[in-house]
Structure 1
Amino acid sequence: MDDQSQDNQKNTSQDPTLLPIPKELPILPLHGFVFFPGMGFPLQIASATSRQLVDEAMEGDQMIGLVLCHKKQVGDNDTISSADLHRVGAVGYVHKVSTTEEGYYQVLVSGIHKLSVDKFTQEMPYIKGEVSILPMEVKDGDHETEALVLGIRNEFKKLGDLINLPAEIMATMDAISDPYHVGYLVSSQLNLRVNKEQEILEIVEVNLLLHRVARELNRRVNTAEMSNKLQEDIKKDIDDKQREFFLRQQMQAIRKELGEESDGKVELQELRERATEAGLSEEANKAVEKELTRLDRISPSSPEYSVSRNSLLFQVLFRLIESKVSSVEVLQA
């Protein structure tokens, strides 16, 4: 692309899907995602060879092959060979190319057909291959297809509500009618591993494709529902703890206003000292401390306070007697 030009766009009102497909196409390797037919969005092109590929495509028929690379990319100029590519991808039509300040290309592409690379014909400076178009045939009046599409639409709407998918995505789903495109759009929003996306792309028969997408969608909906339920439980637990803390603070403030706070604290401290002086066992101490903690939450003016206090004194006495009896039995033995 000419360095003086920051924007390259060919004016054409023709539907790209109606254009003839060349027998040979330049192949743009994709990393980390699958470009499905029916999709359209900008790609950022960084490597010099890929920018050259785009330049030459714009000078010609504006068509490129979009094929997933299974080799992990290390850098922008990492060398990719045909052996690193899958054989099934999409024909991409390049609508517009813009150059960023950093020198990258922003390439607006739409996937117009599904392709198979029959033979790779060039490796350098970029990959080329002979391709054939894979049919995406749908029988008119196929009730199974219609039922699958309806089920997928309904389940996808549920997913959209669960995870707040963008309104644009939901509007696109309502607008498209091609069953393949419905399946591909849903697949692109399920956060699938890239190898699973490639498997879906390679499915030829429409009902097999829709069955696979429906299973993956159902799995994603179940995961989203479980995640939301866990978040609700966590939020409720946090809210309950915050409410309890707030009520405790209020209760302490009220007791302080009534002059009960100091009396209650003093008495509780005396009860703790009595329990300590009694020389109780570890188990008995735990039981007494549990009762003291409960007693601390009750207002001294409450009838329940007196009942709990007397019960606690009885427990201290009982635990003390029980401890002494055990000691005597040990000595006698």
Structure 2
Amino acid sequence: MSQQSEAVLPLLPLRGVVIYPSMVQHLDVGREHSIKALEEAMMGDHRLLLVAQRDSSVQNPTQSDIFDVGTVAHIKQMVKLPNGTSRILIEGIERAQVKTYEQNDPFMTVTYDTIYDEHGDETEEQAQMRMLTRQFNEYTKVSKKTKRETYDTVKDIEESSHLADIVTSHLSLKIEQKQHVLETVNVPERLDYLIQVIQNEKEVLSMEKKIGQRVKRSMERTQREYYLREQLKAIQKELGERDGKTGEIEELKEKIEDAEMPERIEGIAHKELSRYEKVPQSSAESSVIRNYIEWLIALPWTNETEDNLDVSRAEHVLDEDHYGLERVKERVLEYLAVQQLTDSTSGPILCLVGPPGVGKTSLAQSVARSIGREFVRASLGGVRDEAEIRGHRRTYVGAMPGRIMQSMKSAGTVNPVFLLDEIDKMASDFRGDPSSAMLEVLDPEQNDKFSDHFIEEPYDLSKVMFIATANNLSTIPAPLLDRMEVISIAGYTELEKLHISKQHLIPKQLEENGLTKSKLQFRDDAILKLVRMYTREAGVRNLEREIASICRKAAKKIVSEEKKRVVVTENQLEELLGKPKFRYGQAEQQHQIGTATGLAYTQAGGDTLAVEVSIVQGTGKLTLTGKLGDVMQESAQAAFSYVRARANEFDLEADFYDKYDVHIHVPEGATPKDGPSAGITIATALVSAFTNRPVRKEVGMTGEITLRGRVLPIGGLKEKSLSAHRAGLTTIIMPQDNDKDLEDIPDSVRDQLTFIKVSHLDDVLDHALLPKESII
């Protein structure tokens, strides 16, 4: 039941607390809008409306962030503290239903309806009060959060509504439960709800106590066992039991029986154990024999994990862990499909080749996860000694097996995914050639009987799936390279890096820096600018470092400036990371004479390349600048020879080349440039300069040229197309023979570009040059 009220009171939102009528409590108020509401109340009749927030983390709550039912309270005392907050003593007066809200910057005022209690049968309420009091008494006996003296303040309360409110205020309940009590008008219902809540709390506390006692008993039992073992050791020592070697031999014998070794290896192990039993423990040979026996026991001889050959599941795992890298994923799925059809146990030997940071090592981990195998890694970078691979003979002091056998021990199975990391960085010296030792490891015809100098007995590596990684194929010896299936990972495109950032890098860095998606958000344009202008790499390592730097700076802002959320946009990158570190090519703003836009492929992806040609009166001198490599210089000379040979068709004088000096320049002179794919670009710029015909500003081109004007295929069309799209070009002139490479270009880019396939330079000039009368 409620009654209309026209009073207007300031609203004070509460965080994590609910005030009931007749309660007297201290509150600390620090938020600006809350302090203003207090000041407003103090200028009036010292009354205000207290309403709990639904989410206590909201700093500036609106109407939707607070409950509709609260308590009208009277401010009995207010003290301003040195830190800017205020401490008030308030007394709850009555329940109230908020009627209307009005925003009076920065606080809100409300009108409300007073809520009156609804009572039932008096006898029933008396019974409920007694039961509630009794339950609360039992609760205070078992709860560590409620003081025992609290019951003394509750037991003498005679009014049922007041009893329910006071009991609720002393219970450790969620804010929703406390609000439910406040909103329950019917007093018998309120009492029933509290009786049920206290009963549940008692059961939970009782269960916690049982668990605690069970843990305590377990700890006491462990301590007792430790004490008895120590006593047993002391007794054995006093009895002089052959210095414990008998028990040790029995233990080794049991381990040999349980190791499931092949019959021949088990016989060798028992033979060595017999030797160990006869050798004095103080002898140096004793430790050598024991070490050898322990290695035979520790190596997996028959333990094998069952492959999960579900191709669709494996594809899902690979796609979940890595974006792109389609060729490698396809090869792994082919391997699984063949396994299903043939039940073959031999594994492929893949060699992933690519620049640092493209995900070669992590991809191998994903392969292991996708087929349910153990994963083990051996880093070969800097290995110079053959014994690192094959192990040392047992005659040497401190002899150990090689890295292959050590890794197999770590794997614990005979068919792990074995990563040979940085296989291109092995070296050789007077201690031997480790790359030659790897030939036996990676040869499917002989690795089923791999011989380690320490183990001495043949070990089967044929079930292992070897994956090697390398940055450079030229440093891998040809016989070793011949044993591996090479898969090149050229690097990620901008679009792939965008997806990798959103799916992998940003979530990882948010977690490592204590942030969530709600606190820090990255816009797509910011990520693309980060890729283009703050990193220049084939992989994503530097990109992850820059993302980590942004996360740290955002965390500082959130903590020091008390910001609830930071959104990283393109315009904020300079504020967070400083000026851009790199730049990328842009399309020409106007049609130009003597300037053509070429497309280049770099380790960090694709880029546009302007080729400029200047003609002046002279003696036929050809000058090439811009730090061009030998191949690119030869392309320029071939293009110039083609123009000379076709002088009549271009309406040039027969001896034009004797009257002019030609200067070909490629900007960004500090950056080395090489490759044949700039041939048609240089030729187009030359023809444009000599014929005074502008080159279309929206056209980019790539292709090798011959003296006869034929256009030959090039590499890196995918990366070059993405750079053209990024630079604002709309048309790409490409060799006819590169038509097959169009499938590699993402649909979102391919649909926005026009690809013109050419086989001769005449076709290039027809599409790239405008007539003389066109705007220059």
Shorter-chain TM-score: which interval?
A: 0.5 to 0.7
> CA 1:254/1:275 → structure 2, altered by over 3 Å: closer, same or farther?
closer
Distance in 2 (alpha carbons) for counterparts of 1:250 and 1:189:
52
Q: Which residue of 2 aligns with 1:90?
A: 71
Mapping 1:289-300, distance limit 5 Å: none
Distance in 1 (alpha carbons) for counterparts of 2:34 and 2:253:
84
Q: Which residue of 1 aligns with 2:214?
A: 233
> CA 1:123/1:168 → structure 2, altered by over 3 Å: closer, same or farther?
farther
- Tell me which moved more, 231-240 or 181-190: 181-190
Q: Which residue of 1 aligns with 2:683?
A: none
Mapping 1:107-256, distance limit 5 Å: 107-138=88-119, 142-164=122-144, 165-256=146-237
> CA 1:124/1:273 → structure 2, altered by over 3 Å: closer, same or farther?
closer
- The answer on whether the counterparts of 1:186 and 1:217 sit within 8 Å (CA) in structure 2 is no
Secondary structure of the residue aligned to 2:72 is strand
Alignment length (residue pairs): 257
> CA 1:271/1:64 → structure 2, altered by over 3 Å: closer, same or farther?
same
- The answer on whether the counterparts of 1:37 and 1:181 sit within 8 Å (CA) in structure 2 is yes
Q: Quick one: which amino acid aligns to residue 74 of structure 2?
A: Y
* Mapped pair 1:52 → 2:36: yes
Q: Which residue of 1 aligns with 2:774?
A: none
Deviation at 1:161, TM superposition (A): 1.5
Q: Quick one: which amino acid aligns to residue 46 of structure 2?
A: Q
> CA 1:177/1:280 → structure 2, altered by over 3 Å: closer, same or farther?
same
Find 1:65's aligned residue among 38, 45, 49. 49
Distance in 2 (alpha carbons) for counterparts of 1:264 and 1:22:
95
| Structure whose residues are more often helix by fraction | 1
* Mapped pair 1:23 → 2:24: no
- The answer on whether the counterparts of 2:11 and 2:109 sit within 8 Å (CA) in structure 1 is yes
- The answer on whether the counterparts of 2:10 and 2:40 sit within 8 Å (CA) in structure 1 is no
In angstroms, what is the RMSD of aligned CA positions? Answer: 2.9
Q: Quick one: which amino acid aligns to residue 131 of structure 1?
A: Y
Task: Give unmatched runs, 5+ long, in structure 1.
Answer: 1-20, 286-333
Deviations 1:49-103 (A, max 9, x none): 221221232233221111122355443xx2x333433221111121111222211
Secondary structure of the residue aligned to 1:230 is helix
> CA 1:38/1:121 → structure 2, altered by over 3 Å: closer, same or farther?
same
Distance in 1 (alpha carbons) for counterparts of 2:33 and 2:234:
73
Secondary structure of the residue aligned to 1:61 is coil
Secondary structure of the residue aligned to 1:28 is strand
Distance in 1 (alpha carbons) for counterparts of 2:135 and 2:74:
31
Secondary structure of the residue aligned to 1:115 is strand
Distance in 2 (alpha carbons) for counterparts of 1:226 and 1:273:
45
Deviations 1:151-201 (A, max 9, x none): 122222222121221234333222433222322233334433322222221
* Mapped pair 1:262 → 2:246: no
Distance in 1 (alpha carbons) for counterparts of 2:125 and 2:242:
78
> CA 1:263/1:130 → structure 2, altered by over 3 Å: closer, same or farther?
same
Distance in 2 (alpha carbons) for counterparts of 1:96 and 1:39:
14
Mapping 1:265-284, distance limit 5 Å: 265-272=244-251, 280=257
Deviations 1:30-49 (A, max 9, x none): 12332222332211111222
Distance in 2 (alpha carbons) for counterparts of 1:275 and 1:238:
29
- The answer on whether the counterparts of 2:15 and 2:56 sit within 8 Å (CA) in structure 1 is yes
- The answer on whether the counterparts of 1:82 and 1:127 sit within 8 Å (CA) in structure 2 is no
- Tell me which moved more, 111-120 or 267-276: 267-276
* Mapped pair 1:41 → 2:25: yes
Deviation at 1:215, TM superposition (A): 1.4
Distance in 1 (alpha carbons) for counterparts of 2:244 and 2:143:
50
Q: Quick one: which amino acid aligns to residue 142 of structure 1?
A: E
Q: Quick one: which amino acid aligns to residue 190 of structure 2?
A: L
Distance in 1 (alpha carbons) for counterparts of 2:251 and 2:52:
72
Q: Which residue of 1 aligns with 2:536?
A: none
Mapping 1:285-324, distance limit 5 Å: none
Secondary structure of the residue aligned to 1:167 is coil
The answer to which structure, 1 or 2, has the higher relative contact order (CA under 8 A, 6+ apart) is: 1
Deviations 1:242-277 (A, max 9, x none): 122123223433443xx225347243235446667x
Distance in 1 (alpha carbons) for counterparts of 2:258 and 2:41:
87
Deviations 1:267-313 (A, max 9, x none): 3235446667xx74658x9xxxxxxxxxxxxxxxxxxxxxxxxxxxx
Deviations 1:115-173 (A, max 9, x none): 1222334543421122232113546x722212212112222222212122123433322
Secondary structure of the residue aligned to 1:70 is coil
- The answer on whether the counterparts of 2:81 and 2:87 sit within 8 Å (CA) in structure 1 is yes
Distance in 1 (alpha carbons) for counterparts of 2:225 and 2:159:
55
Question: Which of the two has higher C-alpha Rg?
Answer: 2
Secondary structure of the residue aligned to 1:37 is coil
- Tell me which moved more, 52-61 or 229-238: 52-61
Secondary structure of the residue aligned to 1:195 is helix
Distance in 2 (alpha carbons) for counterparts of 1:274 and 1:86:
72
> CA 1:274/1:230 → structure 2, altered by over 3 Å: closer, same or farther?
closer
Q: Quick one: which amino acid aligns to residue 174 of structure 2?
A: R
Secondary structure of the residue aligned to 1:102 is coil
Q: Which residue of 2 aligns with 1:99?
A: 80
TM-score by length of 2: 0.31
Distance in 2 (alpha carbons) for counterparts of 1:275 and 1:43:
70
- Tell me which moved more, 129-138 or 209-218: 129-138
Distance in 2 (alpha carbons) for counterparts of 1:97 and 1:175:
30
Secondary structure of the residue aligned to 1:127 is strand
- The answer on whether the counterparts of 1:114 and 1:133 sit within 8 Å (CA) in structure 2 is yes
Distance in 2 (alpha carbons) for counterparts of 1:271 and 1:70:
67
Q: Quick one: which amino acid aligns to residue 159 of structure 1?
A: Y
> CA 1:142/1:261 → structure 2, altered by over 3 Å: closer, same or farther?
farther
- The answer on whether the counterparts of 2:13 and 2:50 sit within 8 Å (CA) in structure 1 is yes
- The answer on whether the counterparts of 2:47 and 2:74 sit within 8 Å (CA) in structure 1 is yes
Distance in 2 (alpha carbons) for counterparts of 1:138 and 1:176:
16
Identity of aligned residues (%): 24
> CA 1:273/1:65 → structure 2, altered by over 3 Å: closer, same or farther?
closer
> CA 1:191/1:273 → structure 2, altered by over 3 Å: closer, same or farther?
closer
